[in-house]
Structure 1
Amino acid sequence: MRRLASVGEQRQQTATRTIAGEREAARLWHITLSVAGSAVALSEVRRGLERLAHDHPFLLTSRYACDHAEIRYWEEARDLHDAAAVALRLWGEHRLTAQLPPWEIVGLEVIGRETYHQRVAEGSGPPRAVPVGVHPF
């Protein structure tokens, strides 16, 4: 049986390893970022997500509708806090350059690589990100 550690315990363990002189290795985190807002033309949403994916080829898949979208990708970060911070900045920092709708972030899931693969193997994980790219819901 796995033991789940609280976020506070994970922070303390990370701090202890860093103080002890061990270097923290970056890990992969699976990110699902959900955004929503007022309805806009589907073509505008698609073009914005395609520009975002072109500027940032790490984006695995995006799904969209006229009033919401979901972006899924892998982020390399030292810990969950760093991965979440980067994910939370993604939409706002690229809203103007990619001409994304002025929507707000309404959901964020960050899970480690092992957890992602375990959920997929159990059949309870997020749907596979296939095909890769920008697609309507």
Structure 2
Amino acid sequence: MSEIKNSNEVSTIKENIKKLNLGQISELIDGLKKDLNIEEQALVQPIAATKTEEKVEEKGNVSVKWVKMKDEKATMTPILEDIVIAVKELEEKNITKFEAMKLAKKGIVLENIPWDKAEEFKNKMEKKGAEFEIIK
């Protein structure tokens, strides 16, 4: 019976609080905090932290993996030429088209490069009919 009585009492209090204006509600809250010794604590927003972590990850170095040719009509020659150029620019290594083909067959064509450069390379290759993926 005491649970029902408490629920009725709480309901009555809630109904009375609904009749108060904002100033009175603020005064009530301040009084309850003081009487019950309640301290305010700042809440940390986990969403903001997650976005910051994602940005940090994006700025880290990644690898680029050749997946397949998406366009059956596309040839590998321009792709291999671009791999040779990218390896020279981003990894400071000179390789031949034959070596670029070996890299493509193994999968990873670029290693430890900045995220934005990997994204730029991937987009360029997709326009030429090749599918690449970025690996963290």
Q: Same fold (TM over 0.5)?
A: no
**More helix by percentage:** 2
Q: Normalising TM by the smaller chain, what interval? A: 0.3 to 0.5
**More strand by percentage:** 1
* CA radius of gyration, larger in: 2
Question: TM-score, structure 1 length as denominator?
Answer: 0.34
